[in-house]
Amino acid sequence: MKLENRIAIITGAGRGIGRATALAFAREGADIVLAARTETEINTVAKEIEQFGRRALPVKTDVQYKSNVDAMVTQTIDTFGKVDILVNNAGVAIHNPIEKIREEDWDLTMAVNLKGVFLCTQAVLSHMYDQNYGHIVNVSSVSGKYGHVNGGSYCASKFAVIGFTETTNNEGRRYGVKASVVCPGPVDTKMRRDNHPDDVIENLTQPEDVADLILFLVSQSPRAHTLETVIRTPLM
C-alpha cells in the first residue's frame, strides 16, 4: 500500500474533492482525520473509511478560526501521535463583479480559502519538522492561474494559495517537508453546481480524478517532487 501507516488530515472532507481524497488515501493504507464544519457529513465519511479497515477521526472544524484548527491538530496528535500529510481543501466560492462584491463576502473568501490554508499549515509544520517528513497539498484552482470575470475575491484567494505553497515548500524542504499545489478546472462538486447550475455534468472533471492526482503527489519517491499541477477539463 502506498500510504500504509501514514496519518493524513484533510479539510473540507465531508464532500467533493475532500471526501474522494479521504477514501483514496484510506484504500492505500492511511488513517484519516476528517476536518469540516458539517459533522453529519464527516461522520458518514468516517464510516466509509472504516469499511477499508482504517481509522478515521472526524473533527468539526472551521478553518478560518485558529482555535478550531489548533484544537483539531492537537486532537490528531493525541490520537495518532503524528501527522504526515495535510490536504488543505476547504473552500468557498462567491462570484460577483468587483463593484458588487460585499466586504463580508470578500472577508469570508479570504478567511476560508487563504487564512485557513495558513492556519492549518502553521499548526502542523512543527510536528512535520520534528519528524523530518511531511507533505502538504493545497487545493487551489485554475482560477489561481488567470483572473476570470466575476471572480475577484475567489481568484485573488487562489492566486495567493499558489504563492503560499511555494514559500511553504522552500522553507520546509530543509526539514524533509514538501508542499504541492493542485489547480483543478471545473469539478463536479456541490459548490460548482451551486454557482454554475447550467453546467453539463458529464463534461466536468470528477472529484475522484483530483483525488487520484493528490494521491500520486503524496506517494512520490522522496527523490521526486511535483510543486504545481493544473488539471484541465478537455470538454469545456
pLDDT digits 0-9 by tens, 24-35: 999 999 999 999
Instruction: State the average pLDDT for the chain.
Output: 95
Q: For residue 27, which amino acid is it?
A: R
Least confident of 54-68, 89-103, 144-158, 220-234: 220-234
Kindly indicate whether the domain formed by 7-231 is annotated with CATH number 3.40.50.720. Answer: yes
Nearest to 61 by CA among 109, 21, 108, 10: 10
Report the Cα 161 to chain-centroid distance in Å: 11
Residue ranges with strand state E in 30-133? 31-36, 56-60, 85-88
Residue-wise pLDDT for 133-149, tens only, equals: 999 999 999 999 999 99
Could you tell me which residue, 202 or 110, shows the higher pLDDT? 110
Q: Which three cell numbers stand for residue 69?
A: 484548527
Residue 151 has pLDDT above 70, yes or no: yes
pLDDT at res. 2: 97
pTM: 0.94
Residue 236 has pLDDT above 60, yes or no: no
pLDDT at res. 232: 85
Residue ranges with strand state E in 63-218? 85-88, 134-139, 177-184
pLDDT at res. 104: 98
pLDDT at res. 78: 99
Catalytic one among 65, 129, 154, 175? 154
Residue 129 has pLDDT above 70, yes or no: yes
Residue 195 has pLDDT above 80, yes or no: no
129 is catalytic: no
Residue 55 has pLDDT above 80, yes or no: yes
pLDDT at res. 186: 84
d(CA 92, CA 111) in angstroms, rounded, equals 10
Q: What percent of the chain has pLDDT over 90?
A: 88
Q: Which three cell numbers stand for residue 228?
A: 504545481
Confidence class for position 204, pLDDT limits 50, 70, 90: confident
